[in-house]
């Protein structure tokens, strides 16, 4: 097992900080009282304290149990519960209470549902547009088994950002994302941009799973060639003993180099670093480009 380097240990968010915990309680209380799921908690994200203390979170709809068994993910697997029809209302309530300006909505993968759960995304987007019209809406979706008509239903609601992660390089899909298809994910991003050029597209990739640098650069180029606007690159951390082990911890210089190379490819912006995650500081990645509402 690869040991965590000392330089990473020094940068680990200090979860025991009394100040951080105090500032995080408000967010945690809202989420708990409204009985909402967040990927921050379910996926054991290392940035949870940072986000919670800033009164933000990535809401995870359609329950907390996923129908797939990706090797990297800490979200629970198994048979999901029925769809909660009141969930969209509670998300709107949380966005209001936390005064969130950039709402990120993701979900577990629901291969058990005919539409993969797309209908719930649609309800959430519509309700946010109606009740909190000034909020920017970013959706981070599963692949819906490649069903582009289902994807189109979400795009018709005009989210500001359509995010779908490729997660890793194609060679590692068999063990990292065994029920996903690399090209299928690229096709979804290309379709999203082709459907409405005003919707920003975004994806993310993890490193440290045994991929080679040239494979990462090749995947980033694939994303650009499929009209992906924004990309995030972060270090993989093992959520628990059941997940894939970390093969390598990459130094800060690696992420700086990858970011520079990605920017040369033409992405509108790139976030690359040890603690970068797909939704981490999502509003900063896009910056002022959301100032003009979609037509």
Query: Three-state SS string across the chain, please?
Result: CCCCCHHHHHHCCCCCCHHHHHHHHHHHHHHHHCCCCEHHHHCCCCCHHHHHHCCCCEEEECCCEECCCCCCCCCEECCCCCCCCCHHHHHHHHHHHHCCCEEEEEECCCCCCCCCCHHHHHHHHHHHHHHCCCCEEEEECCCHHHCHHHHHHHHCCCCCEEECCCECCHHHHHHHCCCCCHHHHHHHHHHHHHHCCCCEEEEEEEECCCCCHHHHHHHHHHHHHCCCCEEEEEECCCCCCCCCCCCCCCCHHHHHHHHHHHHHCCCCEEEEECCCCCCCCHHHHHHHHHHCCCC
Q: Cα–Cα distance between 275 and 159 in angstroms, integer? A: 26
Q: pLDDT at residue 287 above 80?
A: no
Q: pLDDT at residue 6 above 70?
A: yes
Tell me which residue of 209, 208, 224 sits closest to 261, measured CA to CA: 224
Q: Cα–Cα distance between 121 and 91 in angstroms, integer? A: 11
- The superfamily in CATH containing domain 14-287 is Aldolase class I (3.20.20.70)
Mean pLDDT of 49-68: 88
Q: pLDDT at residue 291 above 50?
A: no
| Residue 27 confidence (pLDDT) | 86
Domain coordinates in residue numbering, the chain: 14-287
- The region of weakest confidence among 118-127, 179-188, 271-280 is 271-280
Reported as a single tens digit per residue, the pLDDT across 108-152 is 999 999 999 999 999 999 999 999 999 999 999 999 999 999 999
Mean pLDDT of 269-285: 90
More confident residue, 154 or 2: 154
| Residue 13 confidence (pLDDT) | 53
Reported as a single tens digit per residue, the pLDDT across 61-91 is 999 999 999 999 989 899 999 999 999 999 9
| Residue 44 confidence (pLDDT) | 77
Q: pLDDT at residue 272 above 60?
A: yes
- The region of weakest confidence among 168-172, 253-257, 284-288 is 284-288
Average pLDDT, the chain: 90
Mean pLDDT of 166-195: 97
Q: pLDDT at residue 234 above 50?
A: yes
């Amino acid at each position: 097992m690869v040991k965590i380097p000392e330089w990473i240990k020094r940068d680990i968010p200090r979860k025991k900080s009394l100040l951080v915990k105090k500032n995080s309680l408000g967010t945690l209380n809202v989420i708990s009282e409204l009985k909402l799921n967040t990927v921050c908690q379910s996926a054991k994200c290392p940035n949870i304290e940072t986000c919670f203390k800033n009164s933000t979170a990535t809401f995870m709809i359609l329950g907390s149990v996923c129908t797939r068994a990706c090797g990297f993910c800490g979200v629970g697997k198994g048979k999901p519960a029925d769809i909660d029809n009141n969930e969209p209302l509670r998300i709107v309530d949380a966005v209001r209470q936390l005064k969130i300006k950039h709402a990120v909505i993701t979900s577990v993968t629901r291969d058990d549902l005919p539409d993969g759960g797309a209908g719930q995304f649609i309800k959430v987007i519509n309700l946010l547009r109606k009740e909190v019209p000034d909020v920017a809406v970013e959706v981070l979706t599963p692949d819906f088994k490649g069903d582009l008509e289902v994807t189109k239903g979400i795009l018709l609601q005009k989210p500001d950002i359509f995010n779908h992660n490729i997660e890793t390089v194609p060679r590692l899909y068999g063990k990292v994302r065994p029920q996903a298809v690399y090209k299928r994910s690229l096709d979804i991003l290309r379709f999203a941009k082709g459907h409405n050029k005003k919707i920003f597209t975004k994806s993310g990739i993890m490193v440290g799973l045994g991929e080679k640098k040239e494979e990462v650069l090749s995947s980033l180029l694939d994303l650009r060639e499929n009209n992906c606007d924004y990309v995030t690159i972060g270090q993989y951390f093992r959520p628990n003993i059941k997940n894939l082990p970390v093969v390598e911890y990459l130094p800060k210089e690696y992420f700086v180099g990858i970011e520079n190379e990605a920017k040369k490819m033409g992405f509108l912006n790139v976030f690359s670093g040890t603690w970068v995650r797909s939704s981490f500081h999502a509003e900063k990645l896009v910056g002022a480009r959301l100032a003009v509402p979609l037509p």
